[in-house]
Amino acid sequence: MEIARKFKNTFSNVPMLGWLLGVLAAVLIEYYWGYDYISYYLGLPKIPVLFGTLIMLKDPMMIPGVIGYDLIVYVIPILLIAKASNFFTNPVAAILEKTPLWLSAIIHLIFFYGVLHLWAGINDYRVLVVKLTMISIILTISINVINGYQGEFSCSHPGFMAIGAYISSIITLYFFVNDKTFGAAVLSPDLGPWLFPFALIAGGIGASLGSLLVAVPSFRTRGDYLAIISLAFMFIIKSAIENLNVIGGARGMGGQPDYAPLPIIFIWTMLCIWVVHNFVTSIMGKALNAVRDDEAASESMTVKTRKTKMTAFMFGAFWAGIAGGLFAHVLAYINPGMFSINRLAEILAMVYFGGLNSIIGSIVGAVSINVLGEALRPLELFKWIIIPLILILVMIFRPYGLISFKEINAKKLLRAKHKREQGA
């Protein structure tokens, strides 16, 4: 405890910019010396892809090497650079603080993306993990709108995702790809990447229209009944796609063009965070909480409860549809079986683990469950005992999830951290 406090004290004056710089240094070290020197001398077969967890679990003999690697490449450089650089990162942060918040945020984000790109660029596996994690972030935030902010127990998210995935895939395959199902491309494939956002948005709109089927019954009922209605909706979507042979039926649909590289997914993820954050911190968005906590009181305080519920569902479903579209174009293959109970369990796990009614919680939940899922992969089946156990523990000790009822404060996050005036 004492050490943790000291640690916190030592690093309390490092601004976000400093941490980013530290991570950049770590990534550069890995990039230039990771394979040739550090892994080699530590006896590791190659650069550990996910901080060595995979190697560690496969071969316990590697544990010292992995710990050494993580210390040399990540922990020590990050801490050192972050601390050492604060003589100039703090003044820079202070300058940025004087610019409009959006500009400062964008500069930080570009910096962050650069670091992420470099880190993921080490191999394809990392790229895939990062892509899927970001899609999970969109999914988790979007279900949080319905299950957290609006407080319904909705199980239809895989269905929304499927609608988005299929609609956007159909659009891109029909217009920009020569394939067996839809024949020759209608438009020049060169246009594809530029028009891809419209395909995604079409998928999102499709999903939010579909969500009306769940939203309208929610006017009269909630709780367990809504859980069943939404579950039925999910099965109906899955079953309907299985029976539509035009779009591949149960066999699925493949060959989606690669329109979703890392930067595109990153932009969509940030857009999602930004828009949802704006919404849930506005009075319009807080109406969701009011309706959740007391519907009668909300009506009496002039809140349009039906419109609010419909908004929550359609808005949540829209982003689920976007996530579905990105998902389809990352994997370049989808089938209805992907959007069923297993996906639902995963999405629910992410949102309840991370925390209800909180975007930052959703990000934490999505990243933790994804990274945990990947890191524990060598354990094979045991992974599916460890993750549920962790989730049960979280539910017991923090019933609303790790970080709940808490919003991002970008200003506070990015500001310069000068020495505390009062001796703390």
Partner 1 sequence: MESLIELGQFILQNLINALQRGSFYAVISIGYSMVYGVLMLFNFAHGDIFMVATYIGFGIATLFLALFAGFLPGPLIFLATVVITMFLASWVGVFVEVAGYRPLRSAPRASAAITGLMIGIIFETGILILLGAKRLSFPPLMESISYNVGGIYFTNVKVMIIVISLLLMLALHTFIQKTKWGMAMRAMSYDFLAVPLMGVSINIIAPLTFAVGAGLAAVAGILYGQAYPILDPYMGVIIGWKAFVAAILGGRGSIKGAALAGYLIGFIEIFVATIFPSTLRDLIAYSIILLILTFRPRGFFGMEHSTKLRL
Partner 2 sequence: MSALLNVNKMTHYFGGLRAVYNYNLNIKPHQITGLIGPNGAGKTTIFNLITGVYTPTEGSITLENKSIKGLETNEIAARGLGRTFQNLALWRHMNVLDHIKMAHYSQLSYGLIGSFFNTSKCREQESRVEENSYRLLELFDIKQHADQIVTNLPYGAQRRVEMARAMATNPKILFLDEPTAGMTPDELGQMIKIIRKVHQDFKVAIFLIEHRMKFVMELCQHIQTLVFGELIAEGPPEEIQNNPEVIEAYLGKEDLT
Instruction: Tell the smallest beta-carbon distance from residue 289 to partner 2 (Å).
Output: 6
Count CB neighbours of 288 within 10 A.
27
First to last CA, the chain: 17
* Cβ-contact 48, 55 below 8 angstroms: yes
Distance CA 140, CA 316 (A): 10
Q: 178: which 2 tokens?
A: 């020569």
Q: Is 379 in the site for partner 1 (CB under 8 A)?
A: no
Q: 160: which 2 tokens?
A: 């929304």
Distance CA 108, CA 1 (A): 32
Q: If contact means CB under 5 to 8 A according to the sort of partner, which of partner 2, partner 1, none does residue 301 touch?
A: partner 2
Q: Is 218 in the site for partner 2 (CB under 8 A)?
A: no
Q: Is 357 in the site for partner 2 (CB under 8 A)?
A: yes
Chosen residue from 228, 271, 275, 371 binding partner 1 by CB under 8 A: 228
Of 4 and 283, nearer to partner 2 (C-beta) is 283
How many residues touch partner 1 under the rule CB under 8 A: the total is 47
Q: If contact means CB under 5 to 8 A according to the sort of partner, which of partner 1, partner 2, none does residue 275 touch?
A: partner 2
Contact map string, positions 349 to 378, toward partner 1, x by CB under 8 A: x--x---x----------------------
Contact map string, positions 405 to 424, toward partner 2, x by CB under 8 A: x-------------------
Q: Is 118 in the site for partner 1 (CB under 8 A)?
A: no
Of 167 and 344, nearer to partner 1 (C-beta) is 344
| Amino acid occupying residue 230 | S
Distance CA 27, CA 31 (A): 6
Q: If contact means CB under 5 to 8 A according to the sort of partner, which of partner 1, partner 2, none does residue 372 touch?
A: none
Could you give the C-alpha distances from 316 to 160, 211, 256, in angstroms and in order?
9, 9, 25
Q: Is 293 in the site for partner 2 (CB under 8 A)?
A: yes
Q: Is 212 in the site for partner 1 (CB under 8 A)?
A: no
* Cβ-contact 12, 72 below 8 angstroms: no
Of 305 and 340, nearer to partner 2 (C-beta) is 305
Q: Is 290 in the site for partner 2 (CB under 8 A)?
A: yes
SS3 per residue for 164-206: HHHHHHHHHHHHHCCECCCECCCCCHHHHHHHHHHHHHHHHHH
Of 6 and 304, nearer to partner 2 (C-beta) is 304
Instruction: Tell the smallest beta-carbon distance from residue 392 to partner 1 (Å).
Output: 5
* Cβ-contact 182, 173 below 8 angstroms: yes
